Amino acid sequence: MINELIQFIFLGITTSYHVWASWRDPYRKNPPGQLIDMGGYNLHIYCQGQGDITVILDHSLGGIDGYFLIEDIAKITKVCIYDRGGYGWSDASPKKRCSQVIVQELDELLQRANIQPPYLLVGDSFGSYNMRLYAHYFPEKVRGLIFTDGLHEEGMLTLSPQLKLLKLFFISGFFLSIFGSILGLVRLLGTLKIFELIKPELKQFSPTILAKVKRSFYHYQHWLTMGQEMINLDLSGQQMRKANDLGDLPLISIKAKTFFKSSPWNFYLPLKAADQLRDKMQIAILNISSNSQQIQAYNSSHFVWIDEPEIIISAIKQLIDNS
């Protein structure tokens, strides 16, 4: 009885703190970028820098990694990052969370925000699906593609049984995190800098940038959207089958050394199988364009934008200089 009371009081405190902190959030009414009305819901887009070519960056599944990169990219050219519906400062989208719908939303967003082409598209992980499909539908707007540990449907639609179990494990974790965020537990982990303990490379970024990234994870809609995108991942993969020939569009594929760096936090995961899948997908990605090249990120896990962001910046500069 006493233990249950202690747990109830603890959750009451964390939930109350979460509600109070959300209300006090300085970015709640003043996001860093623009909120664009998409017809009943808003999407957030944030632009910096100047240049004839605009970098458009789409995040990984569940990530808002562009905030780590935007300041350095802005030193090279104009760059815009946007929060897919349900992440960051964007409202939840009433539309299906799959690549084809996401691409249609993105093009409409760019038009409504008056972000003119040509674009250099950068897709991190799942974002590579979306950027590749965008290049298929709107080739006249796209100057080049960069993928960081990108996905390919050849591998994602033929997962081994143990990787299918890993996928279900992640989905269940996302939906459990919905309750953790509502109860303020995710915010507590962020406040105690547990994210930085698990991923020490995060410490290289300023507290301001980390605060922008973390705040999305504190809200239940972020985790719900992650689950929706993961559930629809096979549908997104099927949609990608039409985008396997992009002609001679310049494409740089950045390949990480491993999917997950071995650590006490992931010893139970099928790391070898995940790396074999990634190797298979990276070979397939190079066949999408006749003008493709691969760059190795020798010190990176799947999270290249955290482990070695300078490689992404260098790839962007290379394509800009060659345009």
Across 148-166, average pLDDT: 90
Confidence of residue 180 (pLDDT cuts 50, 70, 90): confident
Across 246-258, average pLDDT: 95
Pick among 3.20.20.80, 1.10.10.60, 3.55.10.10, 3.40.50.1820: CATH of 34-322:
3.40.50.1820
What pLDDT, on the 0 to 100 scale, is given for residue 8?
Answer: 44
At CB < 8 A and 24+ separation, what contacts does 164-168 make? 166/269, 166/270, 166/274, 167/230, 167/233
Rounded-to-integer distance, Cα 262 and Cα 259, Å: 9
Across 164-191, average pLDDT: 86
- Compute the Cα dihedral for 262, 265, 267, 268 and give only its sign: negative
What pLDDT, on the 0 to 100 scale, is given for residue 166?
Answer: 83
Please give the biggest Cα pair distance in the chain. 69
Q: Quick check: pTM over 0.95?
A: no
Among 105-114, 186-195, 217-226, 311-320, where is mean pLDDT lowest? Answer: 186-195
The DSSP bridge partners found for residue 78 are 54
Across 251-280, average pLDDT: 81
What strand order describes the sheet that includes 42-48? 34-37, 42-48, 78-83, 54-58, 119-124, 142-148, 251-256, 292-297
Cα-only R_g, the chain: 19
Please enumerate in sequence order all residues whose Cβ is within 8 A of that of 269, keeping only pairs 6 or more positions apart, or say none: 166, 260
Helices (H), 74-191: 99-112, 126-137, 153-156, 161-182, 185-191
